[in-house]
Structure 1
Amino acid sequence: MPVDPTGDPKQHDASEFAEGMSGSCLCGSITVTIKDSELFTKPRGHLCHCANCRKIAGSYVASNLLIETDKVHVEDKNGTLKTYEDKATLSGNSVFRKFCSVDGNPISSETESYPGKIVLKMGMYPRIPQPEAEGFGLHKHEWQGEHPKIDTYEIKWAGPERKKMN
């Protein structure tokens, strides 16, 4: 058993990721590399409180990054990457949720609602950029704290349905 706690994001200065960063699933079979020099230059990504994202994250909120597919490389060295087609979506478009079939770690999601983009599940990375927005703010638990520097939207944080709460 390790003496020091593991996974402290403060162990990694954002400057380490000036060109991008890599993360992996818990068993190490799947590695996802982001090639983007702007990951930590401004707020990026979003927190999502919708039921589907909460379920896939196994938590009260999911930390996601919507990014261009060509900036992402997925390596599946042991062939453990599997896909679940989520049809229960607000848009009516399926969301293809990818995960590791060994450890259950969520990896990414793709949908035709965002062509040419992929939603990465940020929990697998050593450090997470400050989110730019929160989606499905109406679905937050009453005990959750507020994030005053992050815009919160009633439902969607992007697209025509967006309505800002703060």
Structure 2
Amino acid sequence: MSSPPHLGKFINPNSHPVSEFANGLSGTCLCGSINVTINDPELFSRPRGHICHCANCRKVAGSYAASNLIIEEDKVAIEDRQGTLKVFVDTQTGSGNPLQRYFCSQCGNPIKSVTPLRKGWVIVKMGIFPRIPNPEFESFALHKHDWEDVPKGVTQFKIALGGERV
């Protein structure tokens, strides 16, 4: 069985050296309708990722944590070829502030989140990319399962970014 054309060579992230993404990183949703490009030459120069263990991010990721990247909005280009990018306004957040969660309405793949707490920034869902930068920090670390390890060198915040550390 062959891979869908939009996945192509991106099946194994370890087959791609980070030098391959020196000028940017692109990925698609599962059906290929939405393409996201991060234009940041320093994306892999230092830890940049963010692992979130809040209940809502876990639900959206369909996993025990979400792999995110908080980055300046002007460094992210989204091409919605078939008009499938939709938004769900999540009002049940820990901060009490609504969070816009964007996803592909065709395949359900999460794409990004936008919060009023970080104007000019976007939270990109990293599972759509062929490589993910090393994480810089974890949020909601108190919500981790006791079987989860702490990644080496990662700052852990008990709850929110910038709050009390573990």
Q: TM-score, normalised by structure 1?
A: 0.93
- Per the TM alignment, residue 151 of structure 1 is displaced from its structure 2 partner at its CA by 1.0
- Per the TM alignment, residue 145 of structure 1 is displaced from its structure 2 partner at its CA by 1.6
Structure 2: which 5+ runs fail to align? Answer: 4-8
Residue 62 (str. 1) matches residue 66 (str. 2): yes
Q: Distance in 2 between matches of 1:6 and 1:84?
A: 28
Residue in 1 that maps onto 2:56: 52
Pairing of 1:31-46 with structure 2 (within 5 A): 31-46=35-50
Residue in 1 that maps onto 2:156: 152
Residue in 1 that maps onto 2:97: 93
- Per the TM alignment, residue 58 of structure 1 is displaced from its structure 2 partner at its CA by 0.5
2:36·2:76 contact (CA, 8 Å) conserved in 1?
yes
The SS at the match of 2:77 is: strand
Q: Deviations over 1:81-124 (max 9, x none)?
A: 01000001122211000000011000000011000000000000
Q: TM-score, normalised by structure 2?
A: 0.93
2:50·2:138 contact (CA, 8 Å) conserved in 1?
yes
Amino acid at match of 2:46: K
Structure 1: which 5+ runs fail to align? Answer: none
Amino acid at match of 1:81: L
Q: Distance in 1 between matches of 2:80 and 2:15?
A: 27
2:38·2:76 contact (CA, 8 Å) conserved in 1?
yes
The SS at the match of 1:54 is: helix
Amino acid at match of 1:98: Y
Residue in 2 that maps onto 1:22: 26
Residue in 1 that maps onto 2:81: 77
Q: Distance in 1 between matches of 2:25 and 2:91?
A: 31
Amino acid at match of 1:53: C
- Per the TM alignment, residue 6 of structure 1 is displaced from its structure 2 partner at its CA by 6.2
Pairing of 1:101-120 with structure 2 (within 5 A): 101-120=105-124
Residue in 1 that maps onto 2:165: 164
The SS at the match of 2:97 is: coil
Amino acid at match of 2:51: L
Moved >6 Å (runs of 4+): none
The RMSD of aligned alpha carbons is 1.4
The total of aligned residue pairs comes to 161
2:10·2:130 contact (CA, 8 Å) conserved in 1?
no
The SS at the match of 2:135 is: coil
Amino acid at match of 2:83: G
The SS at the match of 1:132 is: strand
